[in-house]
Amino acid sequence: PFFAYITTNAPHGPFIAPPKNTKHFIDLGFADRQAGFYGMIENIDENMGRLLAKLDEWDLYKDTILIFMSDNGMTGGGSGRPGQPVAKGYPFFNAGMKGLKGSADEGGVRVPFFVRWDGHWKAGRSIDTVSAHIDVLPTFAAIAGIKNLP
């Protein structure tokens, strides 16, 4: 068994992404800052794809619990400003939630949390139960058969 915890600075300032990830955003009319922000997200997606391909190549999927999450809700600044288009035809989007990073509103604290464990958890399932990062350790402990955490 092994554990890997991979963190990125992206998408936090300065919003600098590889040109191949920013060019099409700039071509769509995004400002450099927003193109960098969204280019960073695209780059994370590409690298997650590389990780998944390696897990498949090494036949580790069935033995790997993969979690993807972020640290806070949507941010202003690099991602744009609420009520203002990011570029022509591209409105600022926060899934209709009130608030941004730094607020206690749902838009500031709700984060993506995707889990993949092939052969153990059904794909495409959505869980409506409120949970947080602090639930990860007890869940892993239960999976490992650990009954008493210190």
pLDDT of residue 42: 96
pLDDT at 118: 86
pLDDT lower than 70: segments of the chain: 1
- With 0-12 / 13-18 / 19 or more C-beta atoms within 10 angstroms meaning exposed / middle / buried, residue 97 is middle
Residue 5 lies in a domain: no
pLDDT value of residue 80: 78
Domain that holds residue 114: 19-143
Number of domains the chain is built from: 1
Alpha carbon 67 to chain centroid distance? 10
User: What is the pTM for the complete model shown?
Assistant: 0.83
pLDDT at 5: 87
pLDDT of residue 100: 87
In 3-state terms, what secondary structure has residue 47? helix
Q: Measured between alpha carbons, how far apart are the two ends of the chain, in Å?
A: 21
Token pair 């035809």 in the structure block, residue: 89
* 3 found inside a domain: no
pLDDT score for 59: 92
**What is residue 1's predicted lDDT score, i.e. its pLDDT?**
64
Q: Are 43 and 21 in contact (CB under 8 A)?
A: yes
